Structure 1
Amino acid sequence: MQSITKKITIQEVNSLNEPSFTQFFGNIIEHCPSAAIAIFKKKPFDNIIDIYDGIISFLRNISLKEKVEILKMHPDLAGKFENTVNLTIESQKEQQSAGLHLISLDETEELRQLNNGYKLKFGFPFVICARDNTIVSIVRAIKERINNEEEYEVGISMKEVEKIAMKRINDIINL
C-alpha cells in the first residue's frame, strides 16, 4: 500500500481507478484491501462521510469469522525493544503517538505478557486505537478487556478498528 505524503481531495478520490483507490485506501483497515475495494464500489462520494459510511457498512456486514480474521491482521502493540519491522507505516505512527516507542524494557515485557495472554484467550491481538490512548490507558484496557466474553470482545475490538479506519481516512483526504 502507498504511504500517503500528500492529502487528496474528495474530487481526486472520485477520479481514482480501482487499483489507485486500493493503493490509497487499502490499509485503512490493517492489511485488508478488500475493504477498499468494497468502498470503491460505492463511488462517487459527495464527501468524506460517504467514505466513513462505506467502511462502517463493510465492517458491520461481514460475518463474525471475517471480523476475527480482520482482527488477526493487526499487529501486537510493541515497545521500543520489540521488532517493529513488520508494522505498517500507519501502525508505526499510531503506536508512536501513544508513546509506545518510549517505554522501558520492564513496560515492554509487561505489554508482551499482556498481549500474549490476550491472544491466547481470544485468538487475535489486542486492538485499540493507539492515537486515542497512552501506554497507561492501553495497559489498563488490556487488563479490563481480557475478562470479556469472546463475542463481546470482538465487538469492542471492531469498534476500535472503526476508529482507526476513520483516522486513517482523515490522513488521506483533505477536508
Structure 2
Amino acid sequence: MDVQTLNKCDRSEFVRVLGEIFEHSPWVAEGVVDDRPFAARADLHGAMVAVVRRAEPEAHLTLIRAHPDLGARVRLSTSSTAEQASAGLDQMPEAEFQRFHDLNSRYRERFGFPFIIAVRDTTRAGILEAFERRLGNSRDEEIRTALEQIERIAEIRLEQLLPAIALA
C-alpha cells in the first residue's frame, strides 16, 4: 500500500490500517482521518505527531503507558514483538533478562510509566546504557523523551507499513 491508496480508504479502514502506529492508540489515526489527502508518508507522520502533541497531558501518559516493558516475557502487539526481536530482546540470557526486569522495575517505580526507546535505532547494550542514563532525568524530561521516542517508533512503523501492507 502507498499513501495514495491509504488516502482513498473509508474512515474505518483508514483507522484500522493505522490504528497501531501509535501503540494501542487508534485515537491518533482518528485524529487525522479528516486531514486527507496526504501527499507523502512524512506528511501523514507529521499530522499524527501533531495530534499527539495537541493532546492533553493525561492522554500523553495514557499513550506512554500503552507501551510494554522492554524485554518482558508477556504478550505484545505484533509491532512491539517484531521491534523487540530486532534488538534481540526476545532471546536474552537469563542474567540479561533479569537486568532488564530490574531496570524496568526501577524506571516504572521512579516515573510511573514504562521506559520507551525506539529499539530499531539501537542495540541491547545501547538500550541498557540509555536505561541507566535516563533514570537520572526528571519526570518531565522523561515524559518529553518518551513522547519523542514514540514519535520515532511511529515513523519507523509507518515506513514499514505503507510499502508492505495489503488491505484484507
Q: Which shifted more, 57-66 or 121-130? A: 57-66
> Whole-Å Cα distance in 1 between the matches of residues 156 and 126 of structure 2?
19
Q: Structure 2 length normalisation: TM-score?
A: 0.93
Q: Structure 1 length normalisation: TM-score?
A: 0.90
Which residue of the other structure, out of 17, 25, 29, is the alignment partner of 1:36?
A: 29
5+ long unaligned stretches in structure 2? none
Runs of 4+ in 1 over 6 A off after TM superposition: none
In the other structure, the counterpart of 2:18 is: 25
In the other structure, the counterpart of 2:100 is: 111
Given residue 36 of structure 2, which amino acid in structure 1 is its aligned partner?
A: K
Given residue 17 of structure 2, which amino acid in structure 1 is its aligned partner?
A: F
In the other structure, the counterpart of 2:117 is: 128
Are the counterparts in 2 of residues 28 and 168 from structure 1 also a CA contact under 8 Å?
yes
> Whole-Å Cα distance in 2 between the matches of residues 149 and 64 of structure 1?
16
Task: For residue 10 of structure 1, report the CA deviation from its aligned partner.
Answer: 1.5
- Identity over aligned residues, as a percent? 29
> Whole-Å Cα distance in 2 between the matches of residues 96 and 47 of structure 1?
28
Are the counterparts in 2 of residues 21 and 36 from structure 1 also a CA contact under 8 Å?
yes
In the other structure, the counterpart of 1:66 is: 59
Q: Which shifted more, 25-34 or 14-23? A: 14-23
Within-5 A mapping of 1:74-153: 74-78=67-71, 82-85=72-75, 87-153=76-142
> Whole-Å Cα distance in 1 between the matches of residues 119 and 81 of structure 2?
10
Match of 1:106, SS state, is helix
5+ long unaligned stretches in structure 1? 1-7
Q: Give the CA RMSD over aligned residues.
A: 1.3
> Whole-Å Cα distance in 1 between the matches of residues 115 and 152 of structure 2?
14
Task: For residue 84 of structure 1, report the CA deviation from its aligned partner.
Answer: 3.0
Show CA shifts across 1:96-121 (max 9, x none).
11111221100000100100110011
Are the counterparts in 2 of residues 84 and 92 from structure 1 also a CA contact under 8 Å?
no
Counting matched residue pairs gives 164
